[in-house]
Amino acid sequence: MNSRREFVKKAGMAGAVAAATVAPAVHAQSPKIRWRMQTYAGAALGQHVIKPAVDAFNLAANGQMVIELSYADQLVPTGELFRAMQRGTIDCVQSDDDSMASPTEVTVFGGYFPFASRYSLDVPVLFHQYGLGEIWATEYAKLGVKHISAGSWDPCNFATKKPINSLKDLKGKKIFTFPTAGRFLKQFGVVPVTLPYEDVEVAMQTGELDGVAWSGITEDYTVGWAKVTGHFLTNNISGAWIGSFFANMNSWNKVPPHLQQLLRLAFDSSHYYRQHWYWGGEAKLRVEGTQMKLTTIPDAEWKTVEVAGRKFWDEIAKESPTKAKVVAILKRYNAVMEKAGQPYRY
């Protein structure tokens, strides 16, 4: 009987100790982390390029963290995204460097840097195998921003109200495009115009714009631009847009490692989704789309634009050692692709 009493006594004490040890972990839940995120994309496009990834992350985070997603210009204008993120007003941004007016040495290469890529797969290879990822990470860390990852979007084609059949048809056209693309296209008579993303469709209808050089044909149909332009030029000045996910460095550092990894996985899933959505969409809509007529500038004439693109590279390389380093990588990469031949380059 004494042995039984001693056993019950010891068991009770052990249980009390265990309860005291376990209780705080059960009742003192970690505070939920909330991130405010804004994308460069409008609501219609955002349903593809970001919302599925955010929804997946929020589900997988299981209440430990939530991303609150806003679309183009909803919290701040796209051109103010970088500063808002740097201040911590916004925790996370999906954009190209160019559109969000990033004050880095690599900004000019974000978005559509003329002829830097031929296909969408060029972008992840450049970042993962040729060193662009390390350069971007270093440049943004200097400014208190975490460059999480880069991926490719669609090519940059002209969608216009009047058909483009030769370079002379571009002269005087008021075109909504990216800053660097606009800077390059000025030499061909294009008049670059900057507007809030959601105002583009109305600007096309009122005559404020003659066209856009912002995307491929998939976006033209998805966001409603196909019906207000009607013509699509198959020649492009870039095979894939370079866009990234960024975060305020303090916000990033407050996220525990397992959720940081989950963020990377979710954003990688977004990159992958765009790879197949755009690749399939560009071909399908060229063949089956009914709202846009296709035109093409002859190869011999378009070759002059490609040559101008390489001259533009050299101009940019003279601006700083970092820009020169990126241009050198682009040249080396494209030389490899050209020597590799089909299907890498034709």
pLDDT in tens, 292-325: 999 999 999 999 999 999 999 999 999 999 999 9
Given a cut of 90, whether residue 38 has pLDDT beyond it is: yes
Q: Please, where in the chain does CATH 3.40.190.170 lie?
A: 33-153+241-284, 157-239+290-340
- Lowest mean pLDDT of 15-19, 44-48, 173-177, 318-322, name the range: 15-19
pLDDT reported for residue 31: 57
What CATH homologous superfamily does 33-153+241-284 map to?
Answer: Bacterial extracellular solute-binding protein, family 7 (3.40.190.170)
pLDDT reported for residue 143: 97
pLDDT reported for residue 346: 84
**157-160 and 145-152 beta bridge pairing:** unpaired
At the top level of CATH, the class of 157-239+290-340 is alpha beta
pTM for the whole thing?
0.88
| Sheet-wide strand order for 33-39 | 65-70, 33-39, 92-95, 242-248, 145-152
